[in-house]
Amino acid sequence: MTRTGFPKDFLWGGATAASQVEGGFNEGGKGLDSQDCRPQYFNLSRQEKNSWEYKQMTSAKFEAAKKEAGIGNYPFRFGSEQYSHYKEDIALFAEMGMKVYRLSISWARIYPNGDDEQPNKEGLKYYKDLFNECHKYGIKIFVTMLHYAIPVNLMDRYGGWKNRKLIDFYVRYAKTLFENYKDDVDYWLPFNEINAGRFNPYNGVALIKDQEENYDQSVYQALHHQFIANALTVKLAHEMMPGSKVGCMIARFCHYAATCDPRDQLTQLHDEQYTNWFYTDVLARGSYPAYMDRFFDENDIHIQMEEGDEELLKAYPVDFVAFSYYFTQVSTASEEWEKTDGNLVIANKNPYLESSEWGWQKDPTGLRITLNQIYDRYQKPVFIAENGLGAVDVLNEDKTIHDPYRIDYLRCHIEAMKEAIIDGVDLFGYTIWGIIDLVSCGSIEMSKRYGVIYVDADDEGHGTFDRYKKDSFYWYKKCIESNGETL
């Protein structure tokens, strides 16, 4: 069979997350969530904002956040105000020809405290209206059910995902979503970047480091609970909505060995196993991989499983595998290696690649490699749930925004996707991250913009929040119209 490019029904789209785009943090009965509590210190330099101390949640920061009733220095509380602008945003997506919108539902909008008996009707209505608006234009819906933000009550009362009770609360939430949106949603994703539980436990599994006696143990136990919640969600979806599609997703950290020194090669194997494969092996193959036994033994980690857990994982693997892809990194056995930044991680720098202003290294070939590796390993359809460039954009007086750097970035990644499809990969969709400007997850600021649509707001939430089309908007429109041929 000769493949020449993107299949006819390829899903071109854009992605956002509720906590970063919606705003309206206390409107419509929404409860406070974990992302609403991440502060911004406006006067810090970019380097300081990229530091681990800045990104790390502490008990003191968390307690202070809960006392702030207004927006304060919490940019996720205003986002891009999609809560009040969703009709306008979706009309712009339709004008661009977008086939699919990947968005997340805010758990705290549906269950304000996470453990409530009844869902919040206003929250349910908000998403119903939003989905109807998408359907008006024939835009398909890809829902992330949990993109980092959990109701704070689930942290205060239960200690986050390390408590097995969260599985029940999550499954109740999933059931509510399926009951209400079974005819609206095309693709379901229970967890955004499930490997975040390891690389950023506050975002991933709602743990605060200074509250944990044995941090690593809590992290892996919490991840186990998410794996079980994932399997139960697949089970429920398939029972309630026969034929529905449920996927898993990781932040894909593609690693290259620094040299052909076998020690670098072994480090690369381990980096790939511990940061990537572990998660998708559990969720797509349906069991803990053998290589993790040694890792757990050597790190004194003991996962408590209940009877039936392993059978559940085996019986309910996902239907497709998704990932976010921004940059690649180097694996080396040497301690001395120049570092650079990546999403919520510090990475070893690759001397062959260019870096963005935030240090993330651009590598379209790595995307082609990744697509081949994932498809080859699981033989399940693959979806690129996030990819894009965070950059400082300038709104000119005539309201234009010239962003050739973003077009270059997107173009070379889309070319790599096409090559991977010709290689034989069953890639069925691509959603540009932050299709509309939103608050950056790592550095908690508007200035790091990903959108092809500009939002007129600054880091502190000042501005009109009016939307403007960037040059990349027109470029992506042509790309979609030509099914990826006019780049």
**Pattern 88-127, binding to ligand BG6, x per CB under 6 A?**
----------------------------------------
Spatial neighbors of 38 by CB under 8 A, at least 6 apart, are: 57, 61, 65, 74, 76, 202, 444
Least Å from the CB of residue 414 to ligand BG6:
18
Least Å from the CB of residue 253 to ligand BG6:
10
Of 84-92, 262-270, 399-407, 434-442, the segment contacting ligand BG6 by CB under 6 A is 434-442
The 8-class DSSP code of residue 400 comes to -
For ligand BG6, the closer CB: 119 or 390:
390
For ligand BG6, the closer CB: 147 or 418:
147
Of 3-11, 313-321, 346-354, 435-443, the segment contacting ligand BG6 by CB under 6 A is 435-443
Q: Is 282 in the site for ligand BG6 (CB under 6 A)?
A: no
Q: Is 446 in the site for ligand BG6 (CB under 6 A)?
A: no
Least Å from the CB of residue 226 to ligand BG6:
15
CB atoms within 10 A of CB 327: 24
Least Å from the CB of residue 444 to ligand BG6:
8
Q: Is 441 in the site for ligand BG6 (CB under 6 A)?
A: yes
First and final C-alpha spacing in the chain: 25
Least Å from the CB of residue 251 to ligand BG6:
5
**Pattern 354-393, binding to ligand BG6, x per CB under 6 A?**
--------------------------------x---x---
For ligand BG6, the closer CB: 255 or 418:
255
Question: In this structure, what token pair is assigned to residue 483?
Answer: 């099914």
Q: Is 410 in the site for ligand BG6 (CB under 6 A)?
A: no
Query: Catalytic one among 193, 213, 354, 357?
Result: 193
- Report the distance separating Cα 357 and Cα 77, nearest Å: 26
Q: Is 251 in the site for ligand BG6 (CB under 6 A)?
A: yes
Q: In the set 325, 433, 454, 468, which binds ligand BG6 (CB under 6 A)?
A: 433
Least Å from the CB of residue 439 to ligand BG6:
8
Q: Which helix (H) or strand (E) holds 246?
A: strand 245-251
Least Å from the CB of residue 264 to ligand BG6:
26
Q: Which long-range contacts (CB under 8 A, 24 or more apart) does 275-280 make?
A: 275/195, 275/198, 275/199, 276/195, 276/250, 276/252, 277/377, 278/195, 279/194, 279/195, 279/223, 279/248, 279/250, 280/248, 280/250, 280/321, 280/374, 280/377, 280/378
- Report the distance separating Cα 163 and Cα 176, nearest Å: 21
DSSP helix/strand/coil, 170: helix
Q: In the set 40, 80, 192, 217, which binds ligand BG6 (CB under 6 A)?
A: 192
Q: Which long-range contacts (CB under 8 A, 24 or more apart) does 174-177 make?
A: 174/145, 174/229, 174/232, 174/233, 174/236, 174/237, 175/236, 175/240, 176/110, 176/111, 176/119, 176/124, 177/105, 177/110, 177/143, 177/145
Q: Is 38 in the site for ligand BG6 (CB under 6 A)?
A: no
193 catalytic? Reply is yes
Of 110-118, 151-159, 233-241, 441-449, the segment contacting ligand BG6 by CB under 6 A is 441-449
Q: Is 324 in the site for ligand BG6 (CB under 6 A)?
A: yes
335 catalytic? Reply is no
Query: Catalytic one among 310, 386, 397, 445?
Result: 386
**DSSP per residue over 310-362, as a string?**
HHHHHH---SEEEEE---EEEE-S-S---EEEETTEEEEPPTTS-B-TTSPBP
Query: Distances in Å between the alpha carbon of 383 and those of 12, 216, 430?
Result: 11, 30, 6
- Residue 330 and residue 346 in contact, taking contact as beta carbons nearer than 8 Å: no
Q: Which residues pair with 386 in a beta bridge?
A: 324
For ligand BG6, the closer CB: 17 or 414:
17
Least Å from the CB of residue 442 to ligand BG6:
3
Residues in contact with ligand BG6 by CB under 6 A are 17, 20, 192-193, 251, 324, 343, 386, 390, 433, 440-443, 448
Residues catalogued as catalytic: 193, 386
